[in-house]
Amino acid sequence: MTDARLLTLMQWLSPAFPLGSFSYSHGVEAAVAAGLIHDADSLTGWLTDVLRHGTGRSDAIWLRLAAETDDLTALNAQCRAYVPARERLAEADRQGAAFCNLARQVWGIDMADVTLAPAVGHAARQIGMDIDTVVPLFLSSFAGNLVAGAQRLLPLGQTRAQAINAALHPVCIAVASNTRGATIDDIHSTALMSDIMAMTHETQTVRLFQS
pLDDT at position 1: 60
Segment holding 148, helix H or strand E: helix 131-150
pLDDT band for position 177 (50/70/90)?
Answer: very high
Tell whether pTM > 0.95. Answer: yes
pLDDT at position 3: 86
For the segment 179-197, what is each residue's pLDDT rounded down to a tens digit?
999 999 999 999 999 999 9
Q: Is residue 132 part of a domain?
A: yes
Across 100-123, average pLDDT: 97
For the segment 77-94, what is each residue's pLDDT rounded down to a tens digit?
999 999 999 999 999 999
pLDDT of 154 above 90: yes
pLDDT at position 159: 98
Closest CA to 101 of 92, 91, 93, 111: 111
Q: Is residue 100 part of a domain?
A: yes
Alpha-carbon Rg for the chain, nearest whole angstrom, is 16
Q: Is residue 191 part of a domain?
A: yes
Q: Is residue 103 part of a domain?
A: yes
Q: Is residue 208 part of a domain?
A: no
pLDDT at position 188: 93
Q: Is residue 94 part of a domain?
A: yes
Across 52-75, average pLDDT: 97
Q: Is residue 11 part of a domain?
A: no
Q: How many domains does the chain divide into?
A: 1
158 CB-near residues (< 8 Å, 6+ apart): 151
